[in-house]
Amino acid sequence: MLADNYNQVSRQIREAAARSGRSPHGIKLIAVTKTVGPEKVREAIKLGITDFGENRVQEASEKVTGIREVKWHFIGHLQSNKAKDVLPHYTMIHSLDRFSLARTLQNCAERFNLEAKVLLQVNVSGEKSKFGLNPEAVSDFIDSLAGFDRLKLCGLMTMAPYVDDPEETRAFFRELRVLRDRSVRPGLELPELSMGMTNDFVVAVEEGATMVRIGSALFN
């Protein structure tokens, strides 16, 4: 039952926040609806969920264009030629990982006359299967965005490796937070850390996540 799952996830977030001395209000639950249809999204809205995540432009399009009263987050790998389909419909893109995409987003944002809120995706674990900037490249990458006045860089995002014991993900989440702290500079606050999925969100919250992206724990 979605309601029971939601209650349980919310409680786990609250408890993890308390353990790390944080307010639960500083943590946004993004319900990842990539495996479910619009009727489940509506059920989630009735429970009070306000933010939803999708990782594929095409599959999400019916939900995202049909359900306008919530915030949609784009969390998957974004091909540059799809940027124009994503920007107008999503509140934030969590997966900026290369300069060419930044340039495309800047151009689209100019064209639509809007601001593109983005997170930098960082591959902290170094797994070959994962997208994201190398942690060492983040500082220069941020510098390279200076001329893109339509991009609002809000923070960092990562995906930890899938492991049986979520405790093993702690070092990766901590590294993202340290990287964020080091990347803050005058005029750039980077408040958001998008990290933690079903398997590891408790550890991510303990390590400072401000956004957790949860699918299976809610919808399975």
Ligand X SMILES: *Cc1c(COP(=O)(O)O)cnc(C)c1O
Question: Among 37-45, 128-136, 177-185, 192-200, which window interacts with ligand X (CB under 6 A)?
Answer: 192-200
- Of residues 85-144, those binding ligand X (CB under 6 A): none
Burial class of residue 220, CB neighbours in 10 A (0-12, 13-18, 19+):
exposed
CB contact burial 149-173 (16+ within 10 A = b; e otherwise): ebbebbbbbbbbeeeeebeebeebb
Minimum distance from CB of 199 to ligand X (Å)? 6
- Of residues 70-89, those binding ligand X (CB under 6 A): 75-76
In a 3-state reduction of DSSP, which class is residue 156? strand
- Report the alpha-carbon distance of residue 120 to residue 79 in Å, rounded: 15
- Of residues 25-64, those binding ligand X (CB under 6 A): 32, 34, 55
CA 175 to each of CA 126, 162, 165: distance values in angstroms, whole numbers, following the listed order: 12, 17, 18
Is the Cβ–Cβ distance between 144 and 102 less than 8 Å?
yes
In a 3-state reduction of DSSP, which class is residue 60? helix
* Binding test (CB under 6 A) with ligand X, winner from 135, 155, 208, 215: 215
Question: Among 3-11, 106-114, 144-152, 208-216, which window interacts with ligand X (CB under 6 A)?
Answer: 208-216
- Which residue in the shown chain puts its C-beta closest to ligand X? 215
Question: Among 83-91, 102-110, 123-131, 212-220, which window interacts with ligand X (CB under 6 A)?
Answer: 212-220
Minimum distance from CB of 152 to ligand X (Å)? 20
* Nearer residue to ligand X within complex by CB, 193 or 214: 214
Q: Which residues bind ligand X (CB under 6 A)?
A: 32, 34, 55, 75-76, 159, 197-199, 213-217
